[in-house]
Every structure is written in structure tokens, then in C-alpha cells.
Amino acid sequence: MSVPLLYCTRCSQNRVNEKTKTLSERLSTLESQGLRVVFKEFEGENHVSVLPILISHAVRFALIPKA
């Protein structure tokens, strides 16, 4: 069983992004157990402008199996 996990952040000038990236790197060690982790950073986006992009990426991530 494969479990997809998508972490997304909106800009690179935020300490939260560093912690999120570190967490996604740690979780990606569980790939052999079926966890698929992807970290995406959307530079230049804010809380409002990132939503359409995030939704698009999340739907594709959830519906398209890993190649």
C-alpha cells in the first residue's frame, strides 16, 4: 500500500519552510514502507495566490501514481 504525502510551502524566506523541508526529508526514509513524500516550495506566492497552484499540484499528486 502506498501512502502519498505532499508538503507545500509558499516562500523560501520563512523558518517554517526549513522545518517542513527537514520533516519531509526525515519522512522520505520511510519510502520502502510505502510512504511517498514530496516537498514543494512555491516562491513568490502568498497565502491567497498559492491556493490555486497548491490545489492543482495536490490533485495531480494524489491521482497520478509515482513513475
pLDDT, tens digit (0-9, with 9 covering 90-100), for 37-60: 888 888 888 878 888 998 998 898
Q: Which residue type sits at 51?
A: L
Number of structural domains in the chain: 1
The pLDDT tens digits of the residues spanning 22-33 come to 998 999 999 888
| pTM confidence score | 0.64
Q: What is the pLDDT of residue 20?
A: 83
- pLDDT above 60 for 62: yes
- Burial profile 32-41: b = 16 or more Cβ within 10 angstroms, e = fewer: eeeebbebee
Domain range for 52 is: 3-63
Which residues neighbour 51 within 8 Å (Cβ) at sequence distance 6 or greater? none
Radius of gyration of the chain (CA): 13
> Long-range contacts of range 55-58, CB-CB < 8 Å, 24 or more positions apart?
57/6, 57/8, 58/6, 58/8
